[in-house]
Structure 1
């Protein structure tokens, strides 16, 4: 099982050692144990967890935008994905994980402390509120998100956190063409532009890794500051996506 993860990391030229191996194994054990009491993931099978939470989370790691980044925020992190796997793989980078459910944030904090994952800060709050805070707004090189929301709404959550010149990387399903077209105007209003789409194969991961992931990554470049009126008040981006 861990060999499969090791193969993927090697494909992306990411180092893998005993410490990282222990952190990946320990975090999976912790999430699955906590999941009996708090809804963190629908996945209970370890091999499926490895593929859909770990390998999937690491998809962006081979991109130039991620490689040159130093500060990353994960919006709507849920059980810590993609933020924690990326943090384990890249201990030299700094990660901020945010979620609207405080129970999840406390669990992530506890597990990271227990496993010695020192480059993660977990914060509780809604993106619409945190995106207006001076210490967070336009403060990150990269924003990643696997949150379930249409691209227009997700961009309003995420782009305010990204520095000009930085990048928002959205994990989307294989059939998102219409969704992306519908979001182009919203992304432009928020200061960004869609640069490209990448899938599992195009990111250089060989078939021998054994994965059959369908996520593709949408790379949105931040070209100019986000207007101060965005993000709008909590709930509005989901109810009334920018058109």
Structure 2
């Protein structure tokens, strides 16, 4: 059944993209269909996502991921990381669409990271690394700190928490791109205050740009200064005591 559902999701995605000018890599359609097969098969064992109906997969997993491509292309990153990658959305979808970018997919739940690693191996993706760690640990020291051009996050955390996860991983001039639904002025204000502590600029909001995605939005934060060495704090502290 997963193969049939994956083909239906691919057809639904092609329909959603039929009037848009997004450029996708050669072989993207076949590869993303295979990814959906793998995701749905693993989901039966691991409960990676509640979105399994083909039209919903096309809209909420695939199109929602691809909506970031105009922003991603404008930023032209060489190295990107995806925080809280879960079942590989948006990380694997974007890595399939832009194979010239190297992606590091980060999730603290080992069973999810192991599943995504198996997807990457089955799909033969050479531009993806999977890391099973909390973002606070990954960004604390070592080669990963302040090394990425782009950090993405979808359904990961409130903005004041998310900037503490992401900004230590970004080089100066790098960008956080966060998927959001409607976002309150209070969350934006708190995110702005937290960003200032971490070397980031003021958050900007941009519509996803697809009618099918309704009120989905992107929040964009550019890193302007090095992050002080005391950040990120110990695991869990960002969510317990947000900087804002």
Task: Give the alignment's TM-score, normalised by structure 1.
Answer: 0.90
Long gaps (5+) in structure 2? 1-8
After TM superposition, list the pairs within 5 Å mapping 1:169-208 onto structure 2: 169-201=177-209, 205=210, 207=211
RMSD of Structure 2 on Structure 1 (CA):
1.8
For 1:60-139, what aligned pairs fall within 5 Å after superposition?
Answer: 60-63=68-71, 67-139=75-147
Shift of 1:3: 4.4
1:99·1:126 contact (CA, 8 Å) conserved in 2? yes
The one-character-per-residue Cα deviations of 1:122-175 (angstroms, maximum 9, x if unpaired) are 010001111113211111100000133211011101111111011001111113
Aligned to 1:11: 20
Post-superposition offset of 1:46? 1.5
Equivalent residue for 1:55? 63
1:33 maps to 2:41: yes
Give the equivalent residue in structure 2 for 1:228.
229
Note if contact 1:61-1:67 (Cα within 8 Å) is conserved in structure 2.
Answer: no
CA deviation after TM superposition for structure 1 residue 2, in Å: 2.6
How far apart, CA to CA, are the structure 2 residues paired with 1:107 and 1:225? Answer: 34
Q: How far apart, in 2, do the equivalents of 1:128 and 1:16 lie?
A: 33
- The alignment status of 1:23 with 2:31, answered yes or no, reads yes
Q: Matched residues in 2 for 1:232 and 1:39: separation?
A: 30
CA distance in 2, matches of 1:68, 1:141: 9
- 3-state SS of 1:217 partner: strand
Structure 1 match to 2:165:
157
Q: CA deviation at 1:64?
A: 5.8
How many positions carry a matched residue from both structures?
A: 235
Q: Give 1:214 deviation, angstroms.
A: 2.7
Q: Give the number of the structure with larger relative contact order, counting CA–CA contacts within 8 Å between residues 6 or more apart.
A: 1
Deviations 1:158-212 (A, max 9, x none): 11111101100111111332211122111111100125211122xxx4x5xxx23
Match of 2:50 in 1: 42
